[in-house]
Amino acid sequence: MKIKNNNIVSTKTKVADGSVMSSLTSKVMGQFDIFKHLVSTVKELSELILLVQENKLQEIFNILTQEYFATLSEKLYRLKKNPNKYKEYEMFRNLINNTLYILFRTITISINNLNILNELEIYKDDSDILHDSDRLLEFINNLKHQVSLFGEELKLESTVEANVNPEYAEYFRLYGIPPDLIFVPKRLAEIKIRLNI
C-alpha cells in the first residue's frame, strides 16, 4: 500500500506478525531538514579520510591543525539536538564527532611515528659507531679537536614561561591530560561554549 502525503511517498508493508512496517517514517522525515547542517562537516572529513587512504600525510598535517580540529569540534557541538526527539540525527552527529576524534588521533600518532623514525635513524648511526672500533676511534679523535666558540666558562641560564589557553586549563581540571594531548571534541567544544571563548 502506498500513502502520498505532502509530496512524500511512504510504502507500508504488513509483516508476518501483523504489524505494519513503513519504508519512510514521519519521525525520520521530520529530522531530514536538520541533517543538511552536518553535510559540510561530512564533506570536510571525507576529504581528509581520502587523504589518509592515499597516505598523503603532509597534506593532512597542513589541514588538520589543532585550531581546525577545535573549530570542527565546536561546530559539531553547536549542532547538538535533543537526543530524545532527534535520535537518528544525534546518532549520526555523534558518529561524525567520533570520526573527527579518530582521524585527529590517527594523524597525531602518524606524526609521532615519523618523529620516532627520525630519532631511530640517529640512534642507529650512534649504535653503528659504537660497534665499529675504527669509526669510534675517529669519532673520539674528532671530539678532541673541537673547540668551544664561547670558551670553557660560558654559562647559560634561561627561563621558560608557558601560557595555557583557558579552555585547555579547564579541560585539564575536569578530565586530566588526555592521551597524546588529543582532546575529545565534544568535551572541548562544550568548555569553549561555556567559557564563551
8 falls in which pLDDT band (50, 70, 90)? very low
* 19-28, 71-80, 152-161 — most confident range: 71-80
Burial class (CB in 10 A: 0-12, 13-18, 19+), 183: buried
Whether the per-residue pLDDT at 44 is higher than 70: the answer is yes
Nearest to 48 by CA among 112, 89, 90, 106: 106
Predicted confidence (pLDDT) per residue in 82-118, tens digit: 999 888 889 999 999 999 888 888 888 888 888 898 8
Bigger pLDDT: 13 vs 104: 104
- Report the alpha-carbon distance of residue 69 to residue 64 in Å, rounded: 6
Q: What is the pLDDT of residue 30?
A: 55
Count CA atoms within 13 Å of residue 20 on its CB side: 9
Specify the pTM.
Answer: 0.57
- Report the alpha-carbon distance of residue 165 to residue 67 in Å, rounded: 12
| 15: helix, strand or coil | coil
Who contacts 193 (Cβ-Cβ below 8 Å, separation ≥6)? 74, 77, 78
